[in-house]
Structure formats: C-alpha cells, structure tokens
C-alpha cells in the first residue's frame, strides 16, 4: 500500500476521535520495525525525523551541528527507505519532517520525497511565523505534501529545540493562522513539554484545545491540532534503566490527560523521548545478559561513562558507519539492532492502542502525493 501525505490520516483521526502517534527515529534499522508493528495493529503509520536526526543519518556524529548537505544526504536515505518499505506494506505510511527550521531545510526534505513537513516558526514574531509558514505551504502543496505549523512555545529541550518558559497558544489566533497560511495542521502549546523532565504535576490546558477547535469549526476550517512533547516517560522504564546502572530521572505526560484531549481534537501525538528511554534500557539489559560483549566494547564504555545519557545516538557513534552502511557483521551489533527494534515495538504498540488508532488503517484514504496536489489545486 501507499506512501501518503499526512492529511488523510488527520482527517480520519479527527472523524473518529482518535489520534495517531508520530514516532521520531534516527536510524534506517528502525523504519522496518515502525511499519511492522503498525501492520500488526492495523493502524496507519507516521515516521518522523527532526533535522538533527537527518544529520545523523547523513553520517555526522555531531548531529546537533549538521550542515545542510549532511541533512540532505540523511533525508535522501530515510526517504528512499520509507518509500521502498511502504510500497511493500498494506498500511498507509507517512514520512514527516519534525521541527523544520528554515525554508531551505524544509525544501530539501520535500525535494528528497517526504510526504509531510513541519515548519516551526514559533520563536518568530507572529507575522513572520505566518509569512514563513505560508511560503512553505505554497511550495509543499504544489507537490501534494502536508504542512504542520506551530503557534505558541513549548518549554523544555529536545535536540536543537529549546525554550526556558512556555507560552500557551492563543485560541483566537489559531483561526487567523490557518486562514493566512492555509497549513493543514498546527502544533499548539497547551501544557506539554519537550524532553523527559516534564515535571511531576503536569496539567494540560484542555480548554485551549476545545476553544481552538471550536473557533476552527465556526469558520469551517478543516485544520487539525498536534500535540508535541507528549512522551509518557513510563516509570517502569526509568526504574529499569536505573536498576541496570543508569542514572536517569523524569516525568511524562499522564496518559489519562492525553486520552482526554484526543476526542477534543488532538489528531497527532509526537513520541520521541520514550523511544530513547526504551532503547537505552534494552541496550543496558543486553550487556547485563551478555557480559562477554562488555570487554572491548566502545558502546558499553560510553554507556558506563555517561549514566545520565539516554539519547542512543550519543553512545552508538562507534557503530554509526556500520549502521548507515547496514553492515551488521558482529554479534554485539546484531543484538543492538534487535534492541532498537524491540524498543520501537514496545513504544509504538503502547501508543497505537492508547491513542485509539488500532484498527483504523483501512479507513484512511490512500491518496498519492500527485492526487493530493490535484486536490489542493482544486481539480479533484
């Protein structure tokens, strides 16, 4: 089945009052696992990469400082892989750029074949955010590619996205933003937070979701809303990591609060931190179960030296070249790849079931990018 834009998935999610999890990955080996678990649970799949992930996929271990050409190479690699595997799959699959930073980088993703992009102009003055988003929409829609904008600022740190304090989305501006930019969906700030340290007393402002969607409906705008910074940071994974020698802490978004906002109009929920945590737990566990691998292992040494680190890119750097070349030639690396895949299965399955997208794959209209472009042009 097909490689599709985001819009048909958002439409179905909104109609059914469910949400799709959108899963951030950093390695080609994770793509197959994301698609497989969505096939088993019969949900459409959203695979997303942020710009630092594209630099990592482009071969730069210093991924936070990647160049545009490294990002372009990483984008090409991931787009080729996702397109190839989605053709062989029965479920609709989306490849989305998370937190696009500039028109240039978003254009690179679209040219590489992404079916959906985010342009994050949320740190700009309002009118500049509108102008940048509109410029991206014009380029993307001509090619059938969906666009997510952002209004309001989330606190927290994730890769190259950082803000000290949050500023909630103003629901009165949501309609204006959709009207002026014609974007398809909008990431709003309503109490979620990037990273693992979301605080022990998260209180989502569901009134912002309700008011935003009500304003949109009143104006007959079809836009949908997106929840960033929404990892659950499961307590069991934190304690497992720490019992295996790690030293991580954190609090996620309480599941019951997320489940409350889904039927109110949140159609896409981003999950990144949870995959990093589960991967790190799996890799620590693999060394515990296979102590032979710990001698002469650079990965193990990096993990031991940095017990607070749970971003697997940091300690998998010694194997980056092998992973990119897909030369999985030793038993330690074979087990690491399994650990990456198993983390994807665990976190995606949890989200697919919790957010309600289980069993909805075949309700999604399987539009190609060309068909979507015709719809945007008003020809269909």
Chain contacts with Zn ion (rule: CB under 5 A): 228
Q: How far is the CB of 229 from Zn ion (least distance, A)?
A: 6
Catalytic residue among 62, 98, 272, 292: 98
Under a CB-based contact definition with an 8 Å cutoff, are residues 283 and 222 in contact? no
Under a CB-based contact definition with an 8 Å cutoff, are residues 108 and 71 in contact? yes
Q: How far is the CB of 275 from Zn ion (least distance, A)?
A: 14
Angle at 53 between CA 52 and CA 57, to 5 degrees: 120
Which of residues 101 and 228 has its CB atom nearest to Zn ion in the complex? 228
Determine whether 138 is an active site residue. Answer: no
Report the distance separating Cα 191 and Cα 205, nearest Å: 6
| Closest residue to Zn ion using C-beta atoms | 228
Q: How far is the CB of 228 from Zn ion (least distance, A)?
A: 3
Q: How far is the CB of 88 from Zn ion (least distance, A)?
A: 30
Strands 161-163 and 156-158, by their bridges, are: antiparallel
Report the distance separating Cα 20 and Cα 225, nearest Å: 11
Q: How far is the CB of 328 from Zn ion (least distance, A)?
A: 31
Which of residues 20 and 228 has its CB atom nearest to Zn ion in the complex? 228
Report the distance separating Cα 241 and Cα 109, nearest Å: 35
Ordered alpha helix ranges (H), the chain: 7-16, 29-40, 51-57, 68-87, 103-112, 126-141, 171-181, 206-218, 235-243, 255-265, 273-289, 298-305, 312-316, 320-325, 331-354, 369-377
Report the distance separating Cα 90 and Cα 36, nearest Å: 10
| Residues assigned a catalytic role | 98
């Amino acid at each position: 089945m097909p490689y599709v834009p985001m819009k048909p998935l958002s439409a179905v999610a909104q109609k059914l009052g469910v949400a799709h999890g959108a899963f951030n990955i950093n390695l080609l080996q994770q793509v197959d696992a994301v698609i497989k678990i969505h096939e088993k649970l019969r949900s459409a799949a959203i695979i997303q990469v942020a710009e630092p992930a594209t630099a990592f996929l482009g071969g730069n271990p210093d991924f936070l400082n990647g160049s545009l050409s490294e990002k372009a190479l990483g984008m090409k690699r991931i787009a080729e892989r996702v397109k190839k595997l989605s053709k062989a799959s029965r479920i609709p699959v989306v490849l989305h750029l998370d937190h696009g930073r500039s028109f240039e980088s978003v254009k690179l993703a679209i040219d590489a074949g992404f079916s959906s992009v985010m342009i994050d102009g949320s740190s700009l003055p309002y009118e500049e955010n509108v102008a940048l988003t509109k410029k991206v929409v014009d380029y993307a829609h001509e090619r059938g590619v969906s666009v997510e904008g952002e209004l309001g600022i989330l606190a927290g740190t994730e890769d190259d996205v950082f803000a000290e304090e949050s500023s909630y989305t103003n629901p009165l501006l949501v309609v204006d933003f959709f009207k002026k930019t014609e974007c398809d969906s909008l990431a709003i700030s309503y109490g979620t937070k990037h990273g693992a340290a979301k605080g022990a007393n998260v209180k989502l402002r569901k009134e912002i979701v309700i008011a935003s969607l009500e304003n949109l409906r009143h104006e007959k705008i079809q836009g949908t809303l997106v929840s960033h910074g929404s990892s659950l940071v499961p307590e069991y994974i934190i304690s497992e990591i720490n019992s295996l020698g790690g030293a991580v802490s954190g609090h996620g978004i309480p599941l019951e609060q997320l489940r409350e906002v889904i039927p109110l109009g949140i159609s896409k929920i981003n999950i990144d931190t949870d995959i990093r945590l589960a991967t790190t737990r799996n890799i620590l566990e693999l060394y515990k179960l296979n102590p032979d691998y710990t001698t002469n292992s650079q990965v193990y040494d990096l993990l031991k030296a940095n017990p607070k680190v749970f971003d697997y890119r940091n300690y998998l750097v010694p194997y980056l070249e092998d992973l990119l070349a897909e030369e999985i030639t030793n038993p330690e690396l074979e087990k690491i790849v399994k650990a990456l895949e198993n983390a994807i299965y665990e976190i995606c399955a949890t989200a697919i079931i919790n957010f309600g997208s289980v069993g909805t794959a075949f309700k999604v209209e399987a539009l190609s990018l060309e068909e979507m472009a015709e719809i945007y042009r008003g020809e269909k």
